[in-house]
Amino acid sequence: MTMSKSPAEIFGYSFPDIRETQLLIVGGGPAGLSAALQALKLGLKVTLVESGLELGGQLVKQTHKFFGSSLERAGTRGFRIAQELIKELTPFKGSGQLEVYLSTTAIAVYPERIVLLSQLSGKVFPIKPKAMIIATGAQERMLPFPNNDLPGIYGAGGIQTLMNQYGVKPGKRALIVGAGNIGLIVAYQLLQAGVEVIAILEAMDRIGGWWVHAAKVRRYGVPILLKHTISRAIGKEKVEGAVIAEITPDGLKDKYQVECDLIGISVGLTPTVDLLRQANVKMKYVAFMGGFVPLRDREMRTSQSWIWVAGDSAGIEEASTAMIEGQIASTSVAKWLGYISEEEAKREIDQLWARLGYLREAEVSSKVRKGLEEVLVTWGG
Ligand SMILES: Cc1cc2nc3c(=O)[nH]c(=O)nc-3n(C[C@H](O)[C@H](O)[C@H](O)COP(=O)(O)OP(=O)(O)OC[C@H]3O[C@@H](n4cnc5c(N)ncnc54)[C@H](O)[C@@H]3O)c2cc1C
C-alpha cells in the first residue's frame, strides 16, 4: 500500500497545528529504547511513540536470561533489560528533551514528512519530524490447517503475553508447533506455569532453537517430534484436540490424535514494515531476514533520506542486535542534524559494528549474515 496523497487531499483540510520534533522514534522495544537513549545522550530532542500500554516491546514478556555479550546485557532476564533501559530514560523526562506517547500508534506516513498518530483514547494528530527511526518489531506467522481459528489456538507470543504480562494461565494441556527458540521457550514457560505440554512438533529434521532451551523442556520429558506437524485441530466451540502428522516424501501422514485445550503456533516472525512501505522505502524480499525488509546503508538509513530503521523491522534477529542498530541509527541522525562531526560518528558507528560482528559470529546467525549481503547498500549522493 502506497500513501501518496497528502493529508489535505485525503481529509479535505490540512491539520491546523502540526507538532514538530527533531527525531520521531516509532516503537518502544529494545531497538526504539536504545535509539532514544543514544539520541538523547547526543543532545537531540526525541519523541517516542509506542502502541502498547508500556515500553519494552517483546522484552516485557521474556522471563529468561538473555545470551549474547555483557555489553548487550547478556545474563539478564528480558523484562529486567526493559526496566533498565526505561530507568536510563528517566533523567531525560521533564527535561524538555523527551516526549513519550504510550497507547499511541503511528498509522500513516505522508510524503511531506508528516506522520499521523492515533491514540487509544480516539485522538488522532499529526507530527512532523526532521528524522524518523522505525523500530516497529515483528509479527507472528500463522499456519494454515483446518480449524486453525478455534479459540485456544494462539501464536506463541500471544501465549507469552497472556502468561507473563497479564498473569493468565491459557490452558491445561498444550501442543506446541515449532521448535525454534520461541516455541521452546514458551513450552518451558508453560511447564513452569503448571500447564502440561504434550509435545513440540517441528517440521524440519532438526531443532531450530538453542540446545539449552531444548534441553530444558526435554528434562521435563516433553517429546520434540522432528518432521512432524499439526494436520488439523479438533473441536467445535473451542480446541479439544489435534491430529499430528508425520511429514513424509509422499505428503502428510496422520499419526497421532491427542487431547489438548491449547495449541501454540511458533513458526516464525515477519518484520512489521507497513510504515516503511507507506513511505515508499525501497524493500527487498529476503527469506533469511523473515520477509520484506528495507534496503539500508551501514548507518541503518533507508532510501528515504529522513527515515532510518532498527531492530526486527529491519530483519528478524535478536534484542541484542536490535539495541545496537538503534544506537547506530541515532548516531547517524545526530550526524545528519549536525550534533556530532563526521569523524565522531564514524568512530562510534565503527565500534557499534564491531559489537554487531561479535554477536553475529555464531552459527545461528549465518542466515542473518547471508541476508545482510542482500540488503546492505551504499546510497549515492
Ligand atoms: C520468546 C522469545 C524469546 C527471545 N529470546 C531472546 C534472547 O534470548 N536474546 C535476544 O537477544 N533476543 C531474544 N528474542 C528476540 C527479541 O525479543 C527481539 O528480537 C527484539 O524484541 C526486537 O526488538 P525490536 O525493538 O526490534 O522489536 P519489539 O521488541 O517487537 O518492539 C517493537 C515495538 O514497536 C511497537 N509498535 C509496532 N508498530 C507500531 C506503530 N505503528 N506505532 C507505535 N508502536 C508500534 C510494538 O508495540 C512494540 O512494542 C526473543 C523473542 C521472543 C519472542
Report the C-alpha gap between 178 and 161 in whole angstroms. 18
Instruction: Give distance in angstroms: CA of 309 to centre of ligand 1.
Output: 14
Question: What is the DSSP secondary-structure string of 140-195?
Answer: E-----TTTTSTTEEEHHHHHIIIIIT-----SEEEEE--SHHHHHHHHHHHHTT-
Question: What is the DSSP secondary-structure string of 203-271?
Answer: SSSS--S-HHHHHHHHHTT--EEETEEEEEEE-SSS--EEEEEEEETTEEEEEEEEE-SEEEE---EEE
> Which element (helix H / strand E) includes 379?
none
Which residue's CA lies nearest to atom 35 of ligand 1?
Answer: 27
Neighbours of 368 (CB within 10 A): 21
Which residue's CA lies nearest to atom 2 of ligand 1?
Answer: 182
Q: Is the CB of 170 under 6 A from ligand 1?
A: no
Which residue's CA lies nearest to atom 20 of ligand 1?
Answer: 319
Atom of ligand 1 minimally distant from the CA of 181: 3
Instruction: Give distance in angstroms: CA of 139 to centre of ligand 1.
Output: 9
- Span 336-359, pLDDT tens digits: 999 999 999 999 999 999 999 999
- Span 254-304, pLDDT tens digits: 999 999 999 999 999 999 999 999 999 999 999 999 999 999 999 999 999
Atom of ligand 1 minimally distant from the CA of 107: 41
Q: Name the residue of 54, 136, 265 whose CB sits within 8 Å of the most ligand 1 atoms, as the mutation to test its pocket.
A: 136
Q: Is the CB of 201 under 6 A from ligand 1?
A: no
Domain ranges, ordered by start, for the chain = 7-139+269-375, 142-265
Which residue's CA lies nearest to atom 15 of ligand 1?
Answer: 318
Which residue's CA lies nearest to atom 48 of ligand 1?
Answer: 57
Q: Is the CB of 137 under 6 A from ligand 1?
A: yes
Atom of ligand 1 minimally distant from the CA of 137: 27
Q: Is the CB of 126 under 6 A from ligand 1?
A: no
Residue 173, pLDDT score: 98
Q: Is the CB of 72 under 6 A from ligand 1?
A: no
Is the pTM value of this prediction over 0.85? Answer: yes
Q: What CATH code is assigned to 7-139+269-375?
A: 3.50.50.60
Q: Which residues pair with 256 in a beta bridge?
A: 244
Judge whether 331 and 352 are in contact, CB under 8 Å: yes
Judge whether 184 and 209 are in contact, CB under 8 Å: yes
Q: Which residues pair with 185 in a beta bridge?
A: none
Q: Is the CB of 67 under 6 A from ligand 1?
A: yes
Q: Name the residue of 38, 60, 62 whose CB sits within 8 Å of the most ligand 1 atoms, as the mutation to test its pocket.
A: 62
Judge whether 168 and 162 are in contact, CB under 8 Å: yes
Instruction: Give distance in angstroms: CA of 59 to centre of ligand 1.
Output: 6
Report the C-alpha gap between 73 and 56 in whole angstroms. 14
Q: Is the CB of 127 under 6 A from ligand 1?
A: no
Question: What is the DSSP secondary-structure string of 287-334?
Answer: GGGTEEEE-B-TT-B-SSTTEEE-GGGGSS--HHHHHHHHHHHHHHHH
Residue 366, pLDDT score: 86
Q: Which residue has the cell 524538555?
A: 96
C-alpha cell at 361: 559470529
* Nearest of 352, 85, 302 to residue 360 by alpha carbon: 352
Assess whether the region 7-139+269-375 and the region 142-265 belong to the same CATH fold. yes
> Which element (helix H / strand E) includes 84?
helix 78-89
Query: Which residues in the chain come in under a pLDDT of 50?
Result: 1
Q: Is the CB of 32 under 6 A from ligand 1?
A: yes
Residue 308, pLDDT score: 98
* Nearest of 36, 137, 72 to residue 320 by alpha carbon: 72
Q: Which CATH superfamily is domain 142-265 in?
A: FAD/NAD(P)-binding domain (3.50.50.60)
Burial of 17 (0-12, 13-18, 19+ CB in 10 A): exposed
Which residue's CA lies nearest to atom 14 of ligand 1?
Answer: 318
Q: Is the CB of 336 under 6 A from ligand 1?
A: no
* Nearest of 78, 77, 75, 56 to residue 67 by alpha carbon: 75
Residue 380, pLDDT score: 81
